Structure formats: structure tokens, C-alpha cells
Amino acid sequence: MKDQSFRTLLRALEAQGELIRFTKPVHPERNMSAVEWKTYNELGKSSLFTNIEGHPGWTACSQIIADRRKWSIGLDIPEDRLLPEILRRVRQPIAPVRVAAAEAPVKQVKLFGNEANLLDLPTMKVSERDAGRFIASGISFVRDPETGIGNISYHRQQINGRDTTGFVMVPRHARRIYDKYSTQGKGMPVAIVIGVHPAIFFASGFSTSMGLDELTFAGALLGEGVRTVKCETMDLDVPADAEIVLEGEIMPGDHQEPEGPFGEVTGSYPQPSTAHVFKLKAITRRRDAIFYALHCGFPSTDTQSITGLGIEVATFEHLQKVDGGLDLLDLRCLTISGMMMLVLKIRPRTAGQAKVALMAALTGPYQQPKIAIAVDDDIDTADLRQIMWSIATRVHAGEDVILIPNVKVWALDNASPVVEGVETYQRVGTRWMIDATKPPVTMPKERARFDKAMPPNYDTVNLKDFLP
């Protein structure tokens, strides 16, 4: 079997020069977040902290899957094949495989009662106005009490004490499962898993139909079932190779307490609200557990990248059937846009085809995208400068910018109004599309007018051959 821990990713990142090991002290509330954010945003690198003030002996990492390059390393899929290959694999889910506790590194340390202390974890204060320290990397493993089917998803946790956190649940699958327990007068058992293989990171943020256990998609990405082990205090299975597991319960009866402020994935602070409450029962972990200090706040961070990759894969699949199949060359959910912008790289076969593709992209499986841009086959979608150039030189705004008003938008789209008394999940706003493609291939003369003026032999000249 493969090494299913996230240490393979950390090792690979370090070996390829993608990770910086920080041995100087950092403070979880004062500067750790700024250091890891700048390390990625200024240097493009991941961070590993081995000297965290107040948490002797602990190690924490951050910004480990913030872009396609890092995903490609983590999932061991070539960067330019990422979307089609993930899509191919998740079509064949693989069930998890239970192993004995003795074979599970996550059982090396078991802490119960007062010994299980959330304050021991090197959690950080991420954004300046955050209400306190948060865990954003916790993947919640729950089970539907009626069907017995598992569900995994991220739910951020504001640390409110040794054994208590907030637990934010937007009305999706985990919330529906919680409601089923609540109607039986019970709390929802939950195992919060921190630090796993990137295949599980992806699967946990991937939007699927209710009743499909996303852990089977992680198995599909790995090419083998995820090794799982039974929890100590409840009937739930968790990845045996995880770093840390927090076992507990979401308090019953729709009990909620104030939560936030918290710097959101969009990069700003929504109105603080309330959240359900998690009560800790036990912690199991590796002896030398590595905490995943996942950054949720101003982009670009792992948070936008996890959901962004899910949006890309799901939208890529969604577009396969449009107009008898498009020449869709790439699709990007721009992390910098807080997941609200999609870029389609497309070679339009007929006039207006790019606009049809854009319409479809804005009605995909995810709520987040509100702006979709189509660029042509010569634009590097990894390069924002080329996307901007394309908009500036190929868009006739009167014809190519189209607004679609009065449509449902994402709950976190702050630019759209919130109606007093109506929850943000029902927000109405404007979606828009920008067609920055050249004329279609059927009009070669008109198309040529928009070609890039590039140096002779640009594609074959290798800069390395000329550098001093």
C-alpha cells in the first residue's frame, strides 16, 4: 500500500524546493500567519514551523496545496493533466479499508478527559480581526443515522476553551445529517480529522450528491482504499494515517452560540453570526503529530485552492456536454478572486460559442462563480497578465460583456445586498461574463487580426541556452 499520510506531500515539497523550514520562533497569534502568508504570496513556497512559541515540540505547516503545482506534487498527476485525470479517477470510487488500531499511526497517543486539550494544539489567529484562534483544516467525518453512509467536509472551528469550539455548518450535507440526529433528540457524533493525504483534502471539499461518501473519491484518487481505523469513543472510522483526530459531538437541539468575526475565503469579514457547538471527548494523534495550520483569509491560500480545484473539476465535467462538446483547453477558478471568477480557455468553433460556454459555466454545480471569462487558445491561463491583456485588446464591451441580473448568487458575495430578515444563502445579485476570445476558427482572416505579436521562434528558443 502507498504512504497515505500527508508527510509524502511535505517531503516532496521540500525535496523540490517548494517548502521552507522555519526554525526561528514564531508566535501563533502575533506573526505565524503573516509569515506563512508572505512565504507563499511573495516566494510561492509552503511553510513548516518547528519552533512555535507556547507549543514546544510541535510542528505546523501551511500553504501546502495553494496552487496547481503543489496539487500536482501531492496527487502525483502531471500539472497539465490535473483536471481530466482527477475526473477520470473520481468516476471509479474505491471504498475505504479498515485496519487494526495497532497499524494506525493516529493511535500512537490517546488522550481522554482533561488530558484532551484543544489549547495544546498550535492553532493560529489567521486574520487581524478574527475572534480568536481557529482550526480551518479540520475535516469532519460524520455518518447518516438513517442510511449509515459517511460524509466528509471541512467545518471551521473557533476555539472557545479546552473542549469547546464553534462549528459552522452551511445548509449542506453535514447539516442535513445533523438535523436527522436532532429530530431523534441526539447530538451528532463527529470525528474532526487534521492532516491527511491531499487526495482526502480534495475529496472533502468536493461537492457531490447527498448519499455519496466522499472518502470513496479519495480512494479513487489514491488508486486504493483509504486505510481507516475505528474511533475510540464512537462508531465512526477515520483515516489511520492522519496526524490528529478530535472525537466529539455537535450539541443537539440546534444549539448555537455567537461566532466570529472571521476572515472569510473571499478575503473580507462577513457579519459575525452564530455557530453550532462542538464538545470534545478525546484526542488521538501521532507521537510527533504535524498540525496543518490551514490559512483561510485574504487570497491566495490553500482554502481557495481546495474549493477552487473542486469547482474546476466539477465545471470541467459540466461543460463536456455543452454544444456537442467544446474545444475546452483549460479551466481555472482564480484563487485570487475568492473563487468567484472562472477562466475558460477555449477555441471557439463558431461565432457565439464562447458565450454559450460562459453561460453554462455560470450555471455549474457550485454557487461561487459569478464572473466567467473566456480566453482563446493562445492565452496562458496561469498568467493573470495575459488574461488582462486579452480582456483589454479583444473585448468589445458593448458586445462581449454581458450582465445577468437578478439571479441567485453565493452567500458570501458581499457586493450583493443582504435583505433584512432573509438569510444570506438566498442572496440575489448579478452574474456576468466576458468573452475575450478571438473570432471563431471559421473566420481565419478576422481571427488573425487578434494574434499576439510574439518574437520570431518564440516557442523554440530556450532561455536557458542563452543565460550567462
**What is the rounded end-to-end Cα distance, in angstroms, of the chain?**
46
Q: Choose between 19 and 296: whose C-beta lies nearer to ligand FMN.
A: 296
Closest CA to 374 of 407, 409, 331, 334: 331
Where do we find the cell 462549528?
Answer: 167
- Report the C-alpha gap between 388 and 409 in whole angstroms: 24
Q: Choose between 172 and 452: whose C-beta lies nearer to ligand FMN.
A: 172
Q: Choose between 191 and 375: whose C-beta lies nearer to ligand FMN.
A: 191
Where do we find the cell 445586498?
Answer: 417
Could you tell me the smallest distance in angstroms from the CB atom of residue 24 to ligand FMN? 27
Number of residues located near ligand FMN, criterion CB under 6 A: 20
Question: What is the separation of C-alpha 77 from the centre of its chain, rounded to a whole number of angstroms?
Answer: 18
> Under a CB-based contact definition with an 8 Å cutoff, are residues 107 and 273 in contact?
no
Q: Choose between 71 and 206: whose C-beta lies nearer to ligand FMN.
A: 206
> Under a CB-based contact definition with an 8 Å cutoff, are residues 236 and 191 in contact?
yes
Q: Which of 13, 306, 309, 331 binds ligand FMN (CB under 6 A)?
A: 306
Residue 219 grid coordinates: 480512494
Site string for ligand FMN, 243-282 (x = CB under 6 A): ----------------------------------------
Could you tell me the smallest distance in angstroms from the CB atom of residue 314 to ligand FMN? 10
Where do we find the cell 469532519?
Answer: 140
Residues 6+ apart with CB under 8 A from 110: 232, 282, 283, 284
Site string for ligand FMN, 156-185 (x = CB under 6 A): x-----------xxx-xxx-----------
- State how far the alpha carbon of 177 is from the alpha carbons of 110, 181, 232, in Å: 27, 7, 21
Could you tell me the smallest distance in angstroms from the CB atom of residue 176 to ligand FMN? 8
Could you tell me the smallest distance in angstroms from the CB atom of residue 140 to ligand FMN? 8
Site string for ligand FMN, 206-235 (x = CB under 6 A): xx----------------------------
Could you tell me the smallest distance in angstroms from the CB atom of residue 93 to ligand FMN? 14
Q: Which of 283, 294, 343, 346 binds ligand FMN (CB under 6 A)?
A: 294
N residues, the chain: 468
- Report the C-alpha gap between 35 and 152 in whole angstroms: 30
Region 113-142 residues binding ligand FMN, contact defined as CB under 6 A: 136
303: contact with ligand FMN by CB under 6 A: yes
Say if strands 109-112 and 273-285 run parallel, antiparallel, or are unpaired. antiparallel
Q: Choose between 49 and 278: whose C-beta lies nearer to ligand FMN.
A: 278
- Report the C-alpha gap between 164 and 434 in whole angstroms: 46
Q: Which of 307, 315, 337, 353 binds ligand FMN (CB under 6 A)?
A: 307
**CB 307: neighbour CB atoms within 10 A?**
21
List residues near ligand FMN by CB under 6 A.
136, 151, 153-156, 168-170, 172-174, 205-207, 294, 296, 303, 306-307
